[in-house]
Structure 1
Amino acid sequence: MNTMTVVFMVAEKPSLAETISKVLSKNTRVSRKGFNGACSVHEWSGEFCREHVRFRMTSVCGHVMTLDFQSRYNNWDTVDPMELFVANLEKKEANPKLKMVDFLRYEAKNANVLVLWLDCDKEGENICFEVIDSVISVMSKPTTILRAHFSAVTDSELHTAMKSLREPNKNEARSVDARQELDLRIGCAFTRFQTKYFQVSYLYYFIIQ
């Protein structure tokens, strides 16, 4: 017995998921609250690539992951600021309270197609791959991954975007990863160096008074 294809779609924020699902379903979607309490899930049946499918749409709340140093580099007293330029980094959930990774995996389980409706800029492209990395292991194989491009949240723009889906751009996502790494390493190293410098300077000042 063949099961209906499930198309899992993810927007950048809950309000956008609500609008897109309303337009694409012609206001027939059924909505429920996701278990993380922050995102709703909208479902309806329709046509996709000449096939009758089940759509399931939800959202993230901005970035799913954030870049940070491993915990052993958190001690300002024992870690030389220069070490931060070569220190190991790791991806962590941007907001652990939202349990976004678990939520996405739960809703994406056994879906056949992933359609990403993130903002159409490099930051949005980066979030696309955060979503992909979160759900790819629980989706049915082979998995189709597509990206919607739209410049306005209007009926015509959304329908056009749905008809012209493309693959997400890995290079644009990587450029954001590179910028985030530079911001983190330079920002933290400079802040720690400056803090230590002024601590020593003020200590010396009070000693000689």
Structure 2
Amino acid sequence: RPTKNKYIKNYDFSCTLNDSRAVQVTMTSVIGHLMVYDFPPEYQNWQQVSPLTLFDAPTEKQVIRNTSMDKVIPTSFVQKGIEAVRDNIAKEARNAEQIMIWTDCDREGENIGSEIVDVCRGANSRIKVSRAKFSAIISQQIRHAWHSPVDLDYRQSNAVDARAELDLRIGAAFTRFQTLGLRTLFSELNNKVISY
């Protein structure tokens, strides 16, 4: 089935679980992270907020929207891409009993999986969660992963969150220090951001 994102499709099929129970499955996908760390609005003004305060300022992990990453990802991509992916995940989760995460089996995959779970639980708080563990996309491993699901590793996901928060704090603080400091020395930099 098509979705609002032209690159994401929903595939519906029947199969059996370990207990020989016949189930209806919808397989869909994501295109990376669904969420991003950012500072609350009161910390966004470069002229009023000292870069030093960013090391202690509160952060929020929020669903990527067309305004969150507009300097990194073109607005049209975020708006039509990630928001549509998030909406598709939430829509499919509303009537689902269970979700099985099939993201890459590394830290980023665990973190993306936890973001998917957050979106699903926002739409259906009773949804059960499992995780497929595999190291190659071959029939034997796919079948084994389907019949032997595990729990998401939230420790790995939390490690990615810690790194992302540090990246935000350090990157934002030093980018503001550099940009504001160099603008006072070089007028040609007045409309430029000097990224750390």
Note whether the superposition's TM-score is higher than 0.5.
yes
Question: What is the CA–CA distance in structure 1 between the aligned matches of 2:5 and 2:52, rounded to whole Å?
Answer: 39
- Contact 2:17/2:147 (CA < 8 Å) preserved in 1? no
Tell me the TM-score normalised to structure 1 length. 0.76
RMSD: 1.6
Is 1:123 the equivalent of 2:92?
no
Structure 1 portions without partners, runs of 5+: 1-31, 204-209
Counterpart for residue 4 of structure 1:
none
Question: What is the CA–CA distance in structure 1 between the aligned matches of 2:137 and 2:131, rounded to whole Å?
Answer: 15
Secondary structure of 2:172's partner?
Answer: helix
Deviation at 1:140, TM superposition (A): 7.1
Deviation at 1:124, TM superposition (A): 0.5
- Runs of 4+ in structure 1 over 2 Å off: 35-38, 91-98, 137-141, 200-203
With over 3 angstroms needed to count, the CA separation of the structure-2 counterparts of 1:192 and 1:146, relative to structure 1, is: same
Counterpart for residue 193 of structure 2:
none
Tell me the TM-score normalised to structure 2 length. 0.81
Q: Letter of the 2:131 partner, please give it.
A: R
* Residue pairs, 1:47-196, within 5 angstroms: 47-49=16-18, 50-94=20-64, 95-98=78-81, 99=83, 100-139=85-124, 141=126, 143-196=127-180
Return the structure number with greater strand share. Answer: 1
1:45 to 1, 7, 14: 14
- Contact 2:4/2:80 (CA < 8 Å) preserved in 1? no
Deviation at 1:38, TM superposition (A): 3.1
Q: Between Structure 1 and Structure 2, whose CA radius of gyration is higher?
A: 1
Query: Could you tell me the percent identity over the aligned residues?
Result: 39
Instruction: Report the count of equivalent residues.
Output: 171
Structure 2 portions without partners, runs of 5+: 65-77, 188-196
